[in-house]
A and B are shown apart, each in its own frame.
Chain A
Amino acid sequence: MVNDLHVFEALPAYALGSLDEEEARTVNAHIAGCHLCRQELDAFQMVADQLPLAVPEARPSRELSPRLMERIQSLNVGKPAQPVGWRFPGRLLPVGALAGILLIILLAFSNFLLWQRLNDPEVLTGPLGMRAITLGNTAAAPSASGFVIMGADGQNGVLVVDKLPPLEATREYQVWLVRDSSYTGGPVFAVDETGYRGVRLQAPDSLLSYSAVWVTIEPVGGSPEPTGEQVLNGSLFNP
């Protein structure tokens, strides 16, 4: 329970991350200026931080250690590494498959983009109704660029970003689909050393039903709604 004076009763749940968004915002605002509640929160946070130690201990397979070192070595020599931090909904997709899909789509569009000169450069419509939407960057990532490429029916899409700054380990980029001032959280992702990444987009509804796409910086694992700096954005409205 949250009152005007202190938020003691809400602090255990806040430490666990189980408050709803509005309650969490209220607590967040309060503890920013209340030393007493901050101290209480620290005590409950210490309890929450220890909870993982209560889980039954399990061992991964022996093959995991060499796989890790193999991946580390591939990162070391600058080879393309297996993507970290994002999964296709419900299943894992091989890196090669994603790269192949992206390559095919990008090659098809690159030819198209070369000759097509439209008045509105932000949305390009290609053969069979495919669309490529240019994302604009912000002051938080002035060198970054991005595209959303989607099928004619908007059921599938791919976000491709380039030159986004790598983030510290506790932060990730997150994709947002915006409609009527509400936000649908999309995948979180990290970029490689050049700031490049391709991410598949799937949403409960057709991508065409959303008005905009954003990319923001969020805590690892993502947020229920955008909280961090926006680095890319673009309109998904049809031209």
Chain B
Amino acid sequence: MKLDGVDDVTLVKLIADAHTDAIQELYDRYNRLVFSVALTVLGDRAVAEEATLDVFVRVWQGAKTYRPDRAKVNTWLIAITRHHAIDILRWQNSRPDVKSLSLNDVSLSNGTAVPDTEARVEISLQRARIRSAVAQLPAEQRQALVLAYFKGYTHQQIAEVLKQPLGTIKTRIRLAMQKLRETLLDEDSDASESP
């Protein structure tokens, strides 16, 4: 079955009907995204690959539970990936390597994604927007944000890891999120106004 032009939601429906071609296509579309998130959380390629496999097997087993009205397919995949990777991290009981946690490597390029479908174009644009927005944050706000989101740390844990007062961490995270929200909203408005 040729699935290149099939949208993500239809693809998940096909997976729910046990079409193996569909899970292969979904993997081809999103393996880099899932693996990148897993690698960011886990910091180890081998473990991140196992986590990536787990995520797609879960999708295979749980595709019937996907609700398109609640989240896009890529958001759903990311949520499963992040929760699973943080769970692995929790059980590894590993200490965070603070130096590896910044998003300094974030570039403004679109990477190697080939925009050959509507979904891929959208993902590429989203990537560029969020990377640009994150890159504009002060480094200390990015660091707190990454510990919170990608490591599943609470304010208190972040304060301990970074050896900063709790109030400072709360402020950094709040300001970072508010700034990201404003930046992304502004870009949404600009995009909708452009011809």
- CA A69 – CA B23 in complex, angstroms? 8
Q: Give every chain A residue within 8 A of B91 (Cβ-Cβ).
A: 86-90, 187
Closest to B112 in A: A57
Contact indicator B20/A56 (Cβ below 8 Å)? no
Among B48, B81, B93, B177, the residue within 8 A (CB) of A12 is: B177
Q: Is the CB of A60 within 8 A of B52?
A: yes
A85 and B173 contact, Cβ closer than 8 Å, known pairs A19-B155, A221-B86: no
Q: Which of chain B's residues have a CB closer than 8 A to the CB of A48?
A: 149, 177
Q: What separation, in Å, do the CA atoms of A58 and B20 have in the docked complex?
A: 25
A64 to B52: give the CA distance in the assembly, Å.
Answer: 9
B142 to chain A, nearest CB (A): 9
Q: Mark B50-69, 1 if CB is under 8 A from A, else 0.
A: 10111011111111111000
Instruction: Judge if A79 is at the interface, Cβ distance under 8 Å.
Output: no
Q: Separation in Å of the A186 CB from the closest CB of chain B? A: 9
**Shortest distance from the beta carbon of B4 to any chain A beta carbon, whole Å:** 16
Q: Given A60-B35, A188-B87, A220-B83 in contact, is the A43-B181 Cβ separation under 8 Å?
A: yes
A72 at the binding interface (Cβ < 8 Å): yes
B170 beta carbon closer than 8 Å to chain A: yes
Q: Does B152 interact with chain A (Cβ within 8 Å)?
A: yes
Main secondary structure of the interface of B (DSSP, over half): helix
- Which of B31, B39, B105, B134 is in CB contact (< 8 Å) with A64? B31
A69 to B56, CA, bound (A): 10
Tell me the minimal C-beta distance from B46 to chain A in angstroms.
9
Question: Distance in Å from the Cβ of B2 to the closest Cβ of chain A?
Answer: 17
Contacts of A59 in B (CB 8 A): 31-32, 35
Q: Tell me if A49 counts as interface (CB < 8 A to partner B).
A: yes
> Which A residues lie within 8 Å of B32 (CB)?
57-60
Contact: A44 with B177, CB < 8 Å? yes
Contact yes or no, A58 B184, CB < 8 A: no
Contacts of A187 in B (CB 8 A): 91
Contact for A18 among B90, B127, B153, CB less than 8 A: B153
CB pair B75 A75 closer than 8 Å: no
**Residues from chain A with Cβ under 8 Å of B113 in the complex:** 57
8 A Cβ contacts from B105-120 to A: 105-107, 111-113
Q: Is the CB of A168 within 8 A of B62?
A: yes
CB pair B82–A71 under 8 Å, yes or no, is no
Complex Cα spacing A75 to B61, Å: 9
**CB closest chain-A residue, reference B103:** A54
B49 touches A64 (CB 8 A): yes
Cα-based distance from A50 to B28 in the complex (angstroms): 20
Q: What residue in chain A is nearest B59 (Cβ atoms)?
A: A169
Is B180 in contact with chain A by the CB < 8 A criterion? Answer: yes
A220–B20 CB distance below 8 A = no
CB distance from B43 to the nearest CB of A (A): 11
A18:B20 contact, CB within 8 angstroms: no
Listed by A's residue number, 14 A-B pairs whose Cβ atoms lie within 8 Å are A13-B173, A43-B181, A49-B78, A51-B130, A53-B126, A56-B36, A60-B49, A69-B20, A89-B92, A169-B59, A169-B62, A190-B61, A219-B83, A221-B83
Task: Give the 9 A-B residue pairs with the shortest CB-CB distance, closest first.
Answer: A169-B62, A221-B83, A168-B65, A12-B177, A18-B148, A57-B111, A60-B35, A220-B83, A221-B87
Beyond the given A53-B131, A58-B39, A221-B83, please list 6 additional residue pairs across the A-B interface where CB-CB is below 8 A: A53-B130, A56-B36, A65-B27, A72-B23, A221-B84, A221-B87
